[in-house]
Amino acid sequence: MTPVLEGVGLVKRYGRVTAMDGADFDLRAGEVLAVVGDNGAGKSTLIKALSGAVIPDEGRILVDGTEVRFHGPLDARKNGIETVYQDLALAPAQDIATNMFLGRERRRTGLLGGAFRLLDQRGMRAEARRVLDELGIDIKSMTQSVETLSGGQRQAVAVARAAAFGTRVVIMDEPTAALGVAESAKVLELIGRIRDRGLPVVLISHNMPHVFEIADRVHVHRLGKRVAVVSPKTHTMNEVVGLLTGALRLTADGRIEEVGQAVTTGLDR
Amino acid sequence: MTTLRERRGSVSEYMLRTPAVGPAIALVVVIVVFAVVTDTFFTVDNLSLVVQQSLVIGTLALGQTLVILTAGIDLANAAIMVLATLIIAKMTLLHGLPGPAALVLGIAVATVLGAVTGGVVTSLRLPPFIVTLGMLTIVTAVGRIYAAGQSFPVTDGFLGFLGQSQYLFGQLEITYGMGLMLVMYLGFWYALSRTAWGKHVYAVGNDPEAARLSGIHVRRNVLGVYIVAGIIYGIAAWQALGRVPNADPNAFQTGNLDSITAVVIGGTSLFGGRGSVLGTLVGALIVAVLRSGLTQAGIDNLYQDVATGILVIAAVGLDRLSRGRQR
């Protein structure tokens, strides 16, 4: 089966620092793929390359098997790839419906929309309400400003925006990092619901229990490249942690073995 | 899953969403106070005069509101307007240019100056305060050099058109300038609240990074706002010539601060992204009412300045208090 989104041999250098060193990536239809890695492993560079925010120096990106070149986040969006950024990218003083449609507002049809550029505010509010309802997000009014929402509700609005416009992939960068236990659980539930609607999700997270709760596969990133892809069903959290710190490695035949020099700081290469 | 219908928010929520409501209440209160305290304030003639006195600052404040909504500020707006009046007047008086052509030229110069300001702000990423402070100094000096110590009377009928009036119901004096200002305010209220352009102006001022990630061309949007503001300052020059048919390089020296005062009293946040032009219209009227009313009550000019200053601080303080719960 062709991956929905694929990266092959991606390289990105910043001066003498190599943030991506021949990284591979693949996302399959209908799955939640978690991307885990230590700080500085190059996860966010990988994700930015896939969402168009960073242009890789080398390597290929394929969408449904076709090679694409992203020159900015808008190009990725046009290919149906939506990203939920860690800081959510919501304008706090503006209302929910406005935020959902920010940058892609709908105008009224006919003369009002054409000559007078009149927005279809009622239509956008109804659509925002429909998407939130469908995802089971309980927010009473589409005209309340985002700053009146709790952290979890804001996250839900950002996720709903991505789910509403994403036609191929939703990428989420640390969606539970700023949330409490109950709100995290709701967001994880939301991720599951998006997958169940048929939209694959890439989840970047530091939180192993969250990863193991929701992910179908786990992509382990280390020193700028993918070192393993494992299933939460066949591997343990400790094994994943071992892989991402370099204490363990995946052999060619899929077994996990200990690396001789158990403590690898990343400073010794 | 919610089945609740869209619920109207509480009163405080409504006030936050509709920032012009608070200033409008304040305007009604000051009018009532002066109507009670003095005999001469609440007359048809005086009310008309109050509105006429708010036209120039009110128009400047419209452009100022747009700039402030993008989290900027424009200290040069009145200087640009004064330069435009000088160009318009001198061109008709000394070079025989027809009134409409001179007006177009004046508005064009103001527009270019707006574009220069916006260009420097967006391309060099300098704080608007600094850029417009520089523009204020430059444009004021250029105006004085151009005027060479003179002021220029305007006799052209077209240029004085906005000062002409009609009498409604036989006694209420309405100038064409009032009509133009009202139309401009309604037009920009529509553009800001009902079009994508307006939503983008608010977003850019509220959170530029969120706006960028949402696919808005932030710098293009901000540049556009300064250009539109420049056009508005050019039209303010026409209003100024309608009020006083004389272009004076030393006029409106505090016009920039007066326009900021109107914006702030009107409830627009200096931090950008919050506020409305209707609030600014009310703010400009509050200042004019306060000045007229205090004059009718026999209070000295300088005390009027004290009152305006207190009002500015009170307006910003109230704004801060009302948002205190959220930030």
| pLDDT for the residue B76 | 97
Residue B270 lies in a domain: no
Query: Which tokens go with A262?
Result: 């158990």
Residue B291 lies in a domain: no
Contact assessment for residue A97 and residue A125, using Cβ atoms and an 8 Å cutoff: yes
Contacts of B215 in chain A (CB under 8 A): 73-74, 77, 102-104
| pLDDT for the residue A136 | 83
Q: Read off the DSSP letter of residue A253.
A: T
Q: Structurally, how many domains does chain B consist of?
A: 1
pLDDT, one tens digit per residue, over A18-40 is: 999 999 999 999 999 999 998 88
Residues ≥6 apart with Cβ < 8 Å to B17: A95, A143, A145, B9
pLDDT level of residue A152 (50, 70, 90 thresholds): confident
The answer, yes or no, to whether residue A151 has pLDDT greater than 90, is: no
3-state SS, A4-72, equals: CEEEEEEEEEECCEEEEEEEEEEECCCCEEEEEECCCCCHHHHHHHHCCCCCCCEEEEEECCEEECCCC
Residue B321 lies in a domain: no
pLDDT level of residue A101 (50, 70, 90 thresholds): very high
Q: Do B210 and A88 touch (CB under 8 A)?
A: yes
| pLDDT for the residue A264 | 54
Query: Which tokens go with B236?
Result: 């303010």
Residue B180 lies in a domain: yes
Length of chain B: 327
Residue B161 lies in a domain: yes
Max intra-chain CA distance, chain A: 73
Q: Which of A47, A100, A102, A129 to mutate to test the interface with B (most CBs of B within 10 A)?
A: A102
Beta bridge pairs of residue A18 = A13
Contacts of A136 in chain B (CB under 8 A): 1
Q: Do A102 and B7 touch (CB under 8 A)?
A: no
Quote the CA–CA distance of A168 and B179 in Å, as a whole number.
52
Query: Which tokens go with B82?
Result: 């004064």
Long-range Cβ contacts of B9-16 (<8 Å, 24+ apart): B9/A141, B9/A143, B9/A144, B12/B322, B13/A144, B13/A148, B15/B322, B16/A145, B16/B322, B16/B323
Residue B311 lies in a domain: no
Mean pLDDT of A190-200: 91
pLDDT, one tens digit per residue, over A60-74 is: 999 999 999 998 888
Residue B33 lies in a domain: no
Other Cβ atoms within 10 Å of A40 Cβ, number: 13
Quote the CA–CA distance of A232 and A214 in Å, as a whole number.
9
Distance from CA of B34 to the nearest CA of A (A): 36
Q: Do A140 and B2 touch (CB under 8 A)?
A: yes
Q: What is the DSSP string of B88-117?
A: HHHHHHHH---HHHHHHHHHHHHHHHHHHH
The answer, yes or no, to whether residue A263 has pLDDT greater than 60, is: no
By C-alpha distance, the chain A residue nearest B1 is A136
| pLDDT for the residue B20 | 76
Residues ≥6 apart with Cβ < 8 Å to A158: A84, A85, A88, A89, A90
| pLDDT for the residue A169 | 95
ipTM for the whole predicted complex goes beyond 0.85: no
- Per-residue pLDDT in tens (0 to 9) along chain B, 327 residues: 333 444 445 565 565 566 678 889 889 999 999 999 998 999 988 999 999 999 999 999 999 999 999 999 999 999 999 999 999 999 999 998 999 999 999 999 999 999 999 999 999 999 999 999 999 999 999 999 999 999 999 988 899 999 988 887 778 889 999 999 999 999 999 999 999 999 999 999 999 989 988 889 999 999 999 999 999 999 999 999 999 999 999 999 999 999 999 999 999 999 999 999 999 999 999 999 998 999 888 888 888 889 888 988 888 887 777 665 444
| pLDDT for the residue B319 | 74
pTM over 0.80: yes
Max intra-chain CA distance, chain B: 73
Residue A225: enclosing H or E segment and its boundaries?
strand A225-230
Query: Which tokens go with B286?
Result: 């509050």
Residue B49 lies in a domain: yes
| pLDDT for the residue B124 | 94
| pLDDT for the residue B156 | 87
Contact assessment for residue A61 and residue A72, using Cβ atoms and an 8 Å cutoff: no
Nearest to B88 by CA among B37, B160, B14: B160
List the domain range (segments joined by +) for residue B221: 43-253
